[in-house]
Structure 1
Amino acid sequence: MESELKEFASKDQILEPIADPQDNGSGKDELPLLKSDSNSDSPTFSTEDILELEKKYAAYVRKDVYGTMGRGELPITEKFLLGFALITLVPFRLFFGIVILVLYYLICRFCTLFSVPNRDDDQEDYAHMVGWRRAVIVKCGRFLARVMLFNLGFYWISESYSNLPEVEKLESENECTVQFEESERPGAIISNHISYLDILYHTYAFFPSFVAKRSVAQLPLVGLISKCLGCVYVQRESKSSEHKGVSGVVTKRVLEAHQNRDAPMMMIFPEGTTTNGDFLLPFKTGAFLAKAPVLPVILRYPYQRFSPAWDSISGARHVILLLCQFVNYIEVIWLPIYYPSEQEKEDPKLYANNVRKLMASEILTVNVRCKPVFDLILACSSSKKGAYHRIASWVIWYSQILGWPRSESIMLH
């Protein structure tokens, strides 16, 4: 556990709240962003209290039943459910997950037979293919990605499209334009990053190209699939000159996707790492150097028992606990295509920051929209007599069935 805590030390970030436009200075309904703090000292974890650690690194703290790093003390009922799922549900899901993965690998292998991969800019992929082979890879990939999500318990996907009531204010402040148009195609999809499950959803929805570690290309089964997706590979331990080369490849791909409708769009997580979903880390500028419009997409994973967020929990533990949960939920908010202003085109940092603020304001709007309902339930539950208490108890029970976020439903007790 100490080694996992030390990983937090490399994420030198502090909280910076964003005020709710509808809030009159109360500061209660604020969505925190995170910004870099180059002056912060590395803490010593041998004597630091765990609560102080969680407060400082709030973007990586788990709030579900399983507690810090998924190692919290579980109630007896939870232990029973976990043991039952390990015996019945996990083997079933593991088997079908492997079948789906192998099946898609065989499809990709068949479609790439006698085809030479594109080896441009020290990259290797099959995204340049056209015709029936490319159509089979894309259609089967999208379908099987949805089947895999279903196998993992995501039986329903809630998708909504936001008209962003705050856009007019942002336009006046930043001189940006946000709109739905068919005339121009976005070059990149910008999304918050919560879990590896994000990749499955975006593959199902868009079948885009991702930025991945170079070692992914060497993995069995997954390596060929990533090449068919057209992933851009990066060596994280490489020199800065190599990073500049990869940045150039990403910029080139974004421009190509913007200008050519047959080219796959780039899927970029500008935060660069996963969080618990309650915060947005500072955006890196790689996706915005091409000066092309982008499509912001927000993902949320409501939960009651286990949070699908991959924040401070180990990969193996996360996969096992995810497989043990019978139902998982995902909510997707599609924002309008963001067209940068001339000022933003010349300043990628400004462009990235404005898109980040736009996404944060939408997340805040969703949270504020839900809060009055919980305030009403809280008021009802404070009365221990009559119909109000019965209504509150019923809604609490129903919220648990629906899988409303535990961070919100915990307010009801």
Structure 2
Amino acid sequence: MKADDMWKVSQGQGVVVAVIDSGVNASLPELRGQVLEGADASNKSLNPHQDPDGHGTNMATLIAGTGAGGGIKGLAPKAKILPVRSAAGDWDDPADAILGRSIRYAAGHGARIINISLGGIGLPKQFPLTQAAVQYALKKGSLIFAASGNSGDENNPVELPAAIPGVAAVGAIDSNGKAAKWSTHGDQVALAAAGVDVITHCTESNGLCKSWGTSQATAITSASAALIWSKHPKWTNNQVLRVMMQTASPPAGDVIPSSYLGYGSIRPRKVLLDGEGDPGPADVNPLLAREGATKPDPSASASASKSPSADPKSTPTATDDKKGDKKTVAEPKKNDDNSSTLWIAIGAGIAVLLAAAVAIALVRRRGSASVGL
């Protein structure tokens, strides 16, 4: 991504990124001074600066870690993080309510970018509060990125808020630019980013781990948007998203957006270093304008590069760390939690959910394997 070159132009200064997740450990060396007050959107009123789960902290470091103390340096190291705690343990909150409150809080407290590296599995009609919150945030000028999910090689369920109109759903690619086979795919996918062998803090052991998931891809996409918005502070959320879509490395084939990569894999350097991308109209959401399109929308892809990328019709080739081996950076330690799922009821317990089929899964999008240091 030529991060060192991009940082000479922009490091995300002046941009607040909300991380709707399990909280953010603000005491990490690389996050000291990076984390704003934030809030807990659940009924538990926990400290958003604490994160027993570790997932939200990892998303924050990928976005705005400074690298201090030998820690992780994120892609937008001068952006600020607004932690909104919404997934951290035992819950009695319906997924729709907690997501709705989280998005509204983020948009109402200065977040230009809202990162949602989790999702709920259910019917759209089960998420009315989330849908209303998304519309509120878009009108407030926020740009929303959400993980598409990690079940593309299973039953590939559509997840929310990734599939809510106006939200940019993010898929995952490997180091070769190929779609990860587990990356949830469909018409909702707008962009793709690195989501395989991404270095994060281990969540069940000390040291660093190679992790995978559309969570990580979403965080990297949010950080990329922060770099662009910091360089072009007068652009709107629609304009930032439009140039990201325009300058993405397009998927091979005639159908754009593709079901795996959307408009392609993000390339913020094309905007920051090469000056590409036409921001276009300030008040037109390019995702809403694209609905039903099978060819590139001229307003969304006029400046797109013709460089090769993944073929959405082919079988993805990324390594799935649930099944494959991982290379280690240093001495290997025990595997660090490969997957995690929180089942959240709509006013009922799990036994009732199974019978009534009204379960919504709030899923932290991650997996990892230890590479300890």
Normalised to the residue count of structure 1, the TM-score between the two structures is 0.26
**Which of structures 1 and 2 has the larger relative contact order (alpha carbons within 8 angstroms, sep 6+)?**
1
- The structure with the largest strand share of the pair is 2
Bigger helix share: 1
TM superposition score normalised by structure 2: 0.28
